[in-house]
């Protein structure tokens, strides 16, 4: 793939550069970005007011990472890694759980894609459009359904304005260049206010070439990407609420490295049109405090193009989703919300994709409740519950008789959680939580019935799978402010009927009769056994002393997860342990950090899975802020990754044997805000 820089990107780079040269004085401090967590609780709680661990990345942190996907942006956060199947298709993995157990959403509404079906399917949300990304780990997000059993990734933007702006116009333009892949990215975000009418416009462009790797050959073939997105939104904002809508378009073309058949390289051409609505009315009455509705419609399609011109498979997905929440007035020290969520999904595939999955439908409705009781000034009790009904229809496969048949399984799911948050003083919060959560099998787990060329697998579902049950307990200890901060979490989850991809050891061709005879594809059967996951996550930071008017400090981190089947053996593709330390400096306008991360060897593997050696990641970054006029500023940034040019392979990736992680990279960014 050749690098193609758009004229719009060049223009935005020129604007940012001009603003830089107009400025001669440094801003005294950075402008903070709101980090209110809205995902786990409908009550708009801060991260330290929840018993479960929450990762929040603000706008500056997102731009600094330079990841081409949500998985890449979040990959180095404790408890989170990425599937890294391809630079254009890398989904977040949370505590060893991925695909249908990790819900990805935008402003609380599902992404409307097919990324949970297979690792080669990308997420049609570019991090460049996000103002904030929240990740809630563990099965505590009962607002959003059974697919959130492993966690939720919530991408937040301002496409539907919800509050009045401080100024008539607020704007941002950004540009970035990465040496590892000759990557160029650019974008613009505009917000305006005309009376009570809020307006939003954003556009992004991203293009990368094949990325460099250590050794020879010096580039990883078929890793180029191209993405383009634009959105417009408007709302009516009044004293007691807002009502608005947005329309977004996203397209992405990306290569799939190490194709199963080298003579037929694969490129995925993805497109999505998405319409969202959102409204809230807050009378703050004795009975009803707030009524809130979020909904959306998504029309998604992607073609899997072989040899540059041949469409091997096409996947189409349409999704309707809506959620109504009512926050009731305080009843003494009790506050809370109840709600209903509806989802209707139609998924179809044609070509080779039709051999994998015939048209399938899902209709689901759920009722949920969340309550919070302030037992004292220092102790808060939180509880939630959800009842969900999911009805499926599709074409299943019987591997015994080698026949296809129509199937319509349905599931009634009941989930609940309870937690305590205790203020220990000294800004230290202790949290403990227990959950019992049920998940219905996903469409691919029920109805897979054939070859999937992009992943080089032959997948067989099981329409008789029962619902998956998870019983989890978690302890957390955190301090978010002061010279010393830390966030520690320990968790244990027992799964009853855990659904996983079981490698059988057989190889297949394009049909079931070829299994055990041909060797093009790896056979996978969706199976179910009891399993247990447990692990620890820790981050800490200490501002050791003041240096030249800024804070100089040290930071460290550690995380690991283990996953075992109750009948013996390890689950496949589990993240190895990771630990590291670093130094940082913060003087407001000038910020920088350097850290060393060790990704450990993973030799606790399942049958037919190979181990992966450990490696080091030395990364560094620096940002300098310059004031422009009365309220504008420019950020100049540089981020260096894999400075040691380590030969790294991601254990959880299907492509680890053939695909190296990117080599040494220098990323330069220029961001102008007004």
For 52-109, write each residue's pLDDT tens digit: 778 899 999 998 887 889 999 999 999 999 999 999 999 999 999 998 999 999 999 9
Mean pLDDT of 211-233: 94
d(CA 119, CA 125): 16
559-575 burial, b if ≥16 CB within 10 A, otherwise e?
Answer: bbbbbbbeeeebbbbbb
pLDDT at residue 142, as a whole number: 83
306: left (phi over 0), alpha (psi -120 to 50) or beta: beta
* SS3 category, 342: strand
pLDDT of residue 16: 40
Tell me which residue has tokens 């790294």: 648
CA 401, 403, 404, 407 torsion-angle sign:
negative
Tokens of 85: 């199947």
Task: Supply the pLDDT for residue 412.
Answer: 96
When computed from its CA atoms, the radius of gyration of the chain, rounded to whole angstroms, is 24
Q: What angle (nearest 5°) sits at the alpha carbon of residue 546, between those of residues 544 and 551?
A: 75
The whole-number average pLDDT for the span 313-341 is 94
Q: Is the pLDDT of residue 39 over 80?
A: no
**pLDDT, tens only, 612-645:** 999 999 999 999 999 998 889 999 999 999 999 9
Rounded Cα–Cα distance for residues 346 and 319 (Å):
7
3-state DSSP assignment of residue 147:
helix
Q: Is residue 107 left, alpha or beta, with left meaning phi > 0 and alpha meaning psi from -120 to 50?
A: left
Q: pLDDT digit string (tens) for 597-617?
A: 999 999 999 888 899 999 999
**What does the pLDDT read at residue 355?**
83
213: left (phi over 0), alpha (psi -120 to 50) or beta: beta
Alpha helix stretches (DSSP H) within 374-507: 443-447
pLDDT at position 17 over 70: no
Which DSSP string do the residues of 42-60 spell out, in sequence order? TT-B-GGGSSS-EEEEEHH
The residue extents of the domains of the chain are: 7-403+419-673
Judged on CB neighbours under 10 Å (0-12, 13-18, 19+), 408 is exposed
Q: What is the CATH number of domain 7-403+419-673?
A: 2.40.170.20
* 68 phi and psi angles, rounded to 5 deg: -85, 0
pLDDT in tens, 325-337: 999 999 999 999 9
As a whole number of angstroms, the distance between CA 340 and CA 368 comes to 6
pLDDT of residue 308: 84
- Give the per-residue pLDDT at 29: 37
**Pairwise CA distance, residues 389 & 366, whole Å:** 6
630 contact partners, CB below 8 Å, separation of at least 6: none
pLDDT of residue 37: 66
Average pLDDT across the chain, whole number? 89
Give the confidence band of 35 by pLDDT, cuts at 50, 70, 90. low
Determine which of 185-199, 303-317, 587-601, 632-646 has the lowest per-residue pLDDT on average: 303-317
C-alpha 577/C-alpha 488 separation (Å) is: 15
Residue 86 Cα distances to 67, 258, 610, angstroms: 12, 10, 20
Write down the pLDDT at residue 36.
60
Q: Encode pLDDT of 347-386 as tens digits.
A: 998 888 888 888 999 999 999 999 999 999 999 999 999 9
Burial label, 214 (beta-carbon count in 10 A; 0-12, 13-18, 19+): middle
Whether the predicted pLDDT of 19 surpasses 60: no
pLDDT at 46: 77
CA–CA distance, 197 with 191 (Å, rounded to integer): 11
**pLDDT category, 32, cuts 50, 70, 90?**
very low
Contact present, 205 and 175 (Cβ < 8 Å): no
DSSP 283-300: ---SSEEEEEEEEEEEEE
Query: How far, in Å, CA of 17 to CA of 131, rounded?
Result: 22
**For the chain, percent of residues with pLDDT exceeding 70:** 94
Grade residue 307 by pLDDT with cuts at 50, 70 and 90.
confident
Peptide bond into 132 cis (omega under 30): no
How confident is the model at residue 53, as a pLDDT?
78
Q: Enter the tokens of residue 412.
A: 């009634």
Supply the pTM of this predicted model. 0.91
State pLDDT tens for residues 429-439.
Answer: 999 999 999 99
Please identify which residue in the block is written with the tokens 């904002």.
237
């Amino acid at each position: 793939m050749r690098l193609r820089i758009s004229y719009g990107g060049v223009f935005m780079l020129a604007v940012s550069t001009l603003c830089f040269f107009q400025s001669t004085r440094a801003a005294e401090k950075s402008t903070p970005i709101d980090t209110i967590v809205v995902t786990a609780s409908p009550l708009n709680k801060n991260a330290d007011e929840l018993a479960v661990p929450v990762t929040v990345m603000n706008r500056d942190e997102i731009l600094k990472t330079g990841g081409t996907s949500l998985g890449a942006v979040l990959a180095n956060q404790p408890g989170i890694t990425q599937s890294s199947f391809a630079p254009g298709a890398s989904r977040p993995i949370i505590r060893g759980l991925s695909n249908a157990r990790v819900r990805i959403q935008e402003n609380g509404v599902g992404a409307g894609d097919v990324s949970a079906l297979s690792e080669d399917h990308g997420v049609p949300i570019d991090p460049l459009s996000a103002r904030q990304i929240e990740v809630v780990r563990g099965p505590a997000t009962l607002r959003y359904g059974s697919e959130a059993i492993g966690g939720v990734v919530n991408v937040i933007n301002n496409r539907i304005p919800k509050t009045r702006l401080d100024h008539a116009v607020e704007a941002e333009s950004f540009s970035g260049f990465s040496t590892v892949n000759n990557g160029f990215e650019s974008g613009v975000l505009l917000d305006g206010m005309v009376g009570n009418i809020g307006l939003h416009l954003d556009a992004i462009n991203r293009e990368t070439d094949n990325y460099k790797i250590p050794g020879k050959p010096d580039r990883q073939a078929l890793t180029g990407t191209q993405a383009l997105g634009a959105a417009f939104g408007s709302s009516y904002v009044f004293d007691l609420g807002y009502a608005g809508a947005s329309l977004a378009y996203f397209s992405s073309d990306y290569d799939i490295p190490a194709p199963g058949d080298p003579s037929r390289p694969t490129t995925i051409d993805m497109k999505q049109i998405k319409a969202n609505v959102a409204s809230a009315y807050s009378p703050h009455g004795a009975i009803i405090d707030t009524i809130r509705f979020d909904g959306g419609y998504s029309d998604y399609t992607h073609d899997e193009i072989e040899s540059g011109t041949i469409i091997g498979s096409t996947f189409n997905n349409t999704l309707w989703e809506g959620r109504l929440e009512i926050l009731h007035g305080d009843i003494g020290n009790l506050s809370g919300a109840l709600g209903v969520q509806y989802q209707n999904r139609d998924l179809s595939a044609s070509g080779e994709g039709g051999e994998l999955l015939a048209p399938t439908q899902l209709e689901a409705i759920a009722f949920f409740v969340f309550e919070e009781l302030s037992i004292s000034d220092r102790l808060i009790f939180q509880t939630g519950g959800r009842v969900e009904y999911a009805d499926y229809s599709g074409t299943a496969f019987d591997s015994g008789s080698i026949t296809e048949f129509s199937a319509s399984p349905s599931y009634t799911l009941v989930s609940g959680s309870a937690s305590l948050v205790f203020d220990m003083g000294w800004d230290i919060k202790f949290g403990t939580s227990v959950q019992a959560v049920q998940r219905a099998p996903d469409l691919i787990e029920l109805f897979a019935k054939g070859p999937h060329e992009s992943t080089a697998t032959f997948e067989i579902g099981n329409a008789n799978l029962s619902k998956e049950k998870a019983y989890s307990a978690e302890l957390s200890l955190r301090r978010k402010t002061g010279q010393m901060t830390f966030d520690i979490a320990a968790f244990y989850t027992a799964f009853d009927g855990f659904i996983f991809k079981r490698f059988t050891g057989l190889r297949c061709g394009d049909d079931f009769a070829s299994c055990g005879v041909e060797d093009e594809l790896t056979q996978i059967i969706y199976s179910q056994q009891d399993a247990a996951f447990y692990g620890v996550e820790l981050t800490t930071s200490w501002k050791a002393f003041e240096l030249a008017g800024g804070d100089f400090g040290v930071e460290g981190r550690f995380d690991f997860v283990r996953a075992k089947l109750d009948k013996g053996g390890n689950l496949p593709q589990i993240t190895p342990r990771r630990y590291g330390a670093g130094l940082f400096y913060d003087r407001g306008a000038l910020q920088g950090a350097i850290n060393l991360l060790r990704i450990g060897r993973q030799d606790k593997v399942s049958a037919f899975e190979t181990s992966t050696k450990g490696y080091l990641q030395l990364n560094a970054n620096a940002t300098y802020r310059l004031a422009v006029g009365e309220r504008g500023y420019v950020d100049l940034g540089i981020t260096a990754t894999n400075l040691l040019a380590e030969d790294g392979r991601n254990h959880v990736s299907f492509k680890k044997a053939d695909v190296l992680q990117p080599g040494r990279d220098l990323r330069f960014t220029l961001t102008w805000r007004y």
